[in-house]
Amino acid sequence: MISFFPIVPLRAQVWLLLLAAGGFGGVGGVCAAEAPEGRGARRSLAQVLAEEAGELSEPEVRRRVVEELARDERSRREEAEARASERGWPLRGKYPDGGGFELAGVEGDEPLYRTTHNAAAGVSSAANQLWAAPYLLTGAGGTVGVWDEGAVRTTHREFGGRVTVRDGTTTVSPHSTHVAGTIGATGVTSLAKGMAPAVRVDSYDWNSDTSEMTSRGASYPGEPGMLYLSNHSYGFTAGWGYTYTVEGSPVWTWNGIGTTAAGYEPDFGMYGTSANGADALAASLPYYLMFRSAGNDRNNNPAAGVLVKIGAATVAYDAASHPPGDGVYKAGGYDTISYEALGKNVLTVGAVYDATDGSARSLALAALTAFSSWGPADDGRIKPDVVANGYSLYSTSSSGDALYANMSGTSMSSPSAAGTAHLLSEYFRTLFTNTALRASTLKGVLVHTADDLGAAGPDYRFGWGLVNAQAAAELLRGYAARAGTRRVVEDRVTASRRTVSVPFAWDGVSPIRATLCWTDPAGAATTTHDLRTARLVNNLDLRVLGPTGTEYRPWVMPYVGNWSTNLLTAAAVTGSNVTDNVEQVLVAAPGVAGTYTARVSYAGTLTGTGQPFSLLLSGVAETSAAGAPSVSASTPSSATGTSLFTVTGDRFLLGADVRLRRAGARDVVGAGVEAQGDTLRARLVTDGMAEGWWHLTVTNPDGQRAILYNAFVVGTPQTQAAAVWAEDFETADIAGRGWTFEAASGTSLWGLSTAKSVSPTRAMFSAGVATVSDTRVLSATVPIPATGSGLQLSFWHDFALESNDGGVLEFSLDGGAWYDAVGSGSGASFTANGYNATIGGATGKPSTQNPLAGRSGWTGASGGFVKVTVALTDTARYAGHSLRVRWRLGTNGSAASAGWTIDDVSLSGMMPPDMTRGTVFGVR
């Protein structure tokens, strides 16, 4: 009978898990270099993904990759089990605390084991705040993947049928069940309530995790049947761990290099094929975030005189003669994280004590546990990323449908963070139903809003701090309410777009915090112990520039570049970060009012066509506004079925709406929208669309819109009615679209108004003053195609003007003199709702007369919105020229008028196909 110590080091857990399943990128089993004669060398996960033509968003590509990985995993397990039979190695075992280990493969000539990371979380992470108004989040409608030691007990009363075992595993695991409960227990017993109490859980054992994760991770928003996040509370054994017994009693087993006091564990901190494979998978599935427990290795310290197994020998432990304990290896436990948890693109979670004082959250109680592993990675990268409650969590037990248990370890803190993250992911999808957060954005939000613990800035013990779900939700809510503030940015840099700048006004009160996070391509895997070369591939850089030119730099760790062990404990400073794919600038006391700029750039060269990134901002004033979007091109121009549209332009914001529109037809609305600053992708179902030309609109969540006219064609129309230009005033920056205001006399009151409109929220409006005035609103300059015909201007207006006040419509061609739109020789005439009277106001002193008195115009009351149409009958006069339109309001010196509202202006005409397809005729 095999028995085990309750708390197993994270490294040991990770080793055990990855070996049993084959792990990422070739760890375990017979390594590629050792492939038996006559068999080809195995490809690592990173190689499989890099050499496969196509993306995992393509079902056939994903199928091929998954099949190869699954074959490799089966082969590794078979080879490892055959070697275990020869050597007498245990295949699996259980720990008294409910966790366990399982043979995953062979590393060199030694067994490699996956192991669980065992050592009231909702309040600690502030997830409980999201269960109440205004959020009302439960996790319903989404699924979290749980890969673990075995199957979750699906019949437990806390799950209510929401847990499904997806891989046919029949062995129920106490550890798996506890992890799933931490994520999603309903709360039948209130102390056991999970972070996301209505979430669905898909349960897998760890034996084929690589291929299964590849098959289930989301590559784009809304991808059917795919996961946005998963939890992995396990790892491989490293350093000291329990995997053997002597005469029925567990003994410490040394998994590292050397047998003396100079022994070391090279896998601690090393960016090997496991971390490399995790990063490659993350880069291929940019909407899938893997949560990894940091491990519990700091607790793995044999006591003097106890029996330990070192190589083939069983000896009494002597610290002076044998390898040091993991917790004393480097400065009291630094550099004790290993394997996948060292990936740049995963979220690695350490463990703290419960930060709960009664029912309230108390950061003072969030002390580090004695077992939670510390970073850094060998290149000095910050690990863990965040911490969460991992001490004595009360949750579901596999021993019965109404039984519960307490467990400790980073195995518990990781699902605490993962369940919290699912609530945030769910919340974002309620705010923006056509998209989802990129994995880098979700990770960045958790880092950005974490409560800093320990010394100021990040460190190698707490990472960026304690997860704070409420602060994260407020960041997302603030962005949804005022997207123009750009608190949450998804953008990219490319070879031709080396710098992206985000200007914003400081709110005058809060610290300014900017966090940059990106899913970096997999770095080169290494087998070298303590290799200091950065594993960063695309070296992005973050700066915040103040109103007076002051440059604020991100946090950096003093250990990087110096590599003195005594600097592992040193507080972060600021400088140029060339190591991490998470950077943060903190301006604790900005002091100077005005416009600040967050600037993202890169050094060196980029791998790939571009590097998407996520940027989070705090301390932003509500008055901050983004520029209007623009569209320059869209593909395809014709298609059937569900098609992936790629749109190029600029200033596309996260949450943008994309659709195809045509007069008299229902809009075709895009789903799975990916907006990245200068490019945008969306999935549109083009079946059943009416024949003819459709234009494509991109509307940012701040209401500003751009249109690519006649971007998509159905059938083969000849001359076709097409929009040339339009303006619906759904923008906060009307001047940026070329509109201007004038006042020949009086003061112009023209401006955007939300009081009434035909378009969703805004229109152009001016009140009629009780004094003499002549004010005008001028459109942007509109180029009219030379081959256009049947040209027509239309707009909606609503006016309530006293009889001595009135308005007229005027044109200017090619920057020339203004003239009445329907006056003699204008070449245009009203076809609907033209002038209704002669404007009065000619009596009295000249100083009180309306400047427009005696002209035909609009006066009196329209009785609501009416549509005006003007036919530009003289095609030769207008086609091939630039038109500008102005609305002119005149008042006299008597009573005031309610005013004049104008909305939804457009110019259209008949265009041949060569002038309409894919051509930009206007932007709104």
SS (H, E, C) 38-79: CCCCCCCHHHHHHHCCCCCCCHHHHHHHHHHHHHHHHHHHHH
Amino acid of residue 191: L
The yes-or-no verdict on residue 242 having pLDDT over 90 is no
pLDDT at 44: 79
Nearest CA to 777 out of 795, 764, 790 is that of 764
What's the CA gap between 73 and 92, in Å, rounded? 17
Share of the chain above pLDDT 70, in %: 91
Mean pLDDT of 695-723: 83
Tens-digit pLDDT profile for residues 641-650: 999 999 999 9
Higher pLDDT, 573 or 125: 573
Distances (CA, A) of 655 to 260, 488, 732, 789: 58, 10, 17, 37
Residue in this structure with the two tokens 């890969």, named with its chain if needed: 147
Mean pLDDT of 71-75: 85
pLDDT at 721: 66
Q: Would you place residue 918 in the very low, low, confident or very high pLDDT band (cuts 50, 70, 90)?
A: very low
Higher pLDDT, 18 or 118: 118
Mean pLDDT of 17-36: 31
Tens-digit pLDDT profile for residues 551-586: 999 999 999 999 999 999 999 999 999 999 999 999
pLDDT at 735: 87
Higher pLDDT, 432 or 299: 432
The yes-or-no verdict on residue 522 having pLDDT over 90 is yes
Whole-number average pLDDT of the chain? 88
Size (the chain), residues: 924
Higher pLDDT, 145 or 82: 145
pTM score > 0.85 for this model?
no
Share of the chain above pLDDT 90, in %: 67
Tens-digit pLDDT profile for residues 76-120: 888 888 887 777 777 777 666 666 777 787 777 777 777 776 543
Q: Would you place residue 137 in the very low, low, confident or very high pLDDT band (cuts 50, 70, 90)?
A: confident
What's the CA gap between 790 and 910, in Å, rounded? 6
The yes-or-no verdict on residue 121 having pLDDT over 50 is no
Tens-digit pLDDT profile for residues 322-333: 999 999 889 889
Tens-digit pLDDT profile for residues 591-607: 899 999 999 999 999 99
302 and 252 in contact (C-beta within 8 Å)? yes
pLDDT at 920: 38
Distances (CA, A) of 124 to 358, 469, 845: 11, 9, 76
Omega cis (within 30) before 636: yes
pLDDT at 18: 28
Higher pLDDT, 920 or 337: 337
Q: Please, what is the angle between helix 273-284 and helix 209-216, to 10°?
A: 20
pLDDT at 46: 83
80 and 18 in contact (C-beta within 8 Å)? no
Tens-digit pLDDT profile for residues 453-487: 989 999 999 999 999 999 999 999 999 999 999 99
pLDDT at 244: 67
Sign of CA dihedral 305, 310, 314, 320: negative
- Lowest mean pLDDT, pick from 385-389, 786-790, 834-838: 786-790
What's the CA gap between 639 and 685, in Å, rounded? 9
Q: Following DSSP, what letter does each residue of 825-877 receive, concatenated?
A: T-S-EEEES---EE-----S-GGGS-TTTTSEEB-EE-SS-EEEEEE---HHH
The yes-or-no verdict on residue 36 having pLDDT over 60 is no
pLDDT at 113: 74
628's tokens:
């209007």
- Lowest mean pLDDT, pick from 407-421, 723-737, 762-776: 723-737
Mean pLDDT of 488-499: 96
Higher pLDDT, 412 or 99: 412
349 and 414 in contact (C-beta within 8 Å)? yes
- Lowest mean pLDDT, pick from 214-223, 244-253, 676-685: 244-253
pLDDT at 95: 64
The yes-or-no verdict on residue 426 having pLDDT over 50 is yes
Residue in this structure with the two tokens 């102005």, named with its chain if needed: 886
In terms of DSSP H, where are the helices of 506-561? none
Higher pLDDT, 260 or 84: 260
Distances (CA, A) of 913 to 63, 242, 809: 41, 74, 31
The yes-or-no verdict on residue 824 having pLDDT over 90 is yes
pLDDT at 118: 55
Omega cis (within 30) before 558: no
What's the CA gap between 662 and 888, in Å, rounded? 31
The yes-or-no verdict on residue 378 having pLDDT over 80 is yes
pLDDT at 57: 87
Mean pLDDT of 52-57: 80
423's tokens:
């609530």
Q: Would you place residue 718 in the very low, low, confident or very high pLDDT band (cuts 50, 70, 90)?
A: low
First-residue to last-residue Cα distance in the chain = 74
What's the CA gap between 554 and 587, in Å, rounded? 10
pLDDT at 37: 25
Mean pLDDT of 759-774: 94
Q: Following DSSP, what letter does each residue of 78-122 receive, concatenated?
A: HHHHHHHHHHT--SEEE-TTS-EEEEEEEETTEEEEEEE----HH
The yes-or-no verdict on residue 923 having pLDDT over 50 is no
Mean pLDDT of 138-153: 94
Q: Following DSSP, what letter does each residue of 341-387 receive, concatenated?
A: GG-SSSEEEEEE---EETTEE-GGG-PBPSS------TT----S-EE
Q: Would you place residue 42 in the very low, low, confident or very high pLDDT band (cuts 50, 70, 90)?
A: low
Higher pLDDT, 277 or 109: 277
Residue in this structure with the two tokens 């030379």, named with its chain if needed: 786
- Lowest mean pLDDT, pick from 204-208, 524-528, 689-693, 800-804: 689-693
Q: Which of 130-144, 525-539, 707-721, 903-917 has the highest mean pLDDT?
A: 525-539
Omega cis (within 30) before 590: no
487, burial (CB in 10 Å: exposed 0-12, middle 13-18, buried 19+): buried
455 and 572 in contact (C-beta within 8 Å)? yes
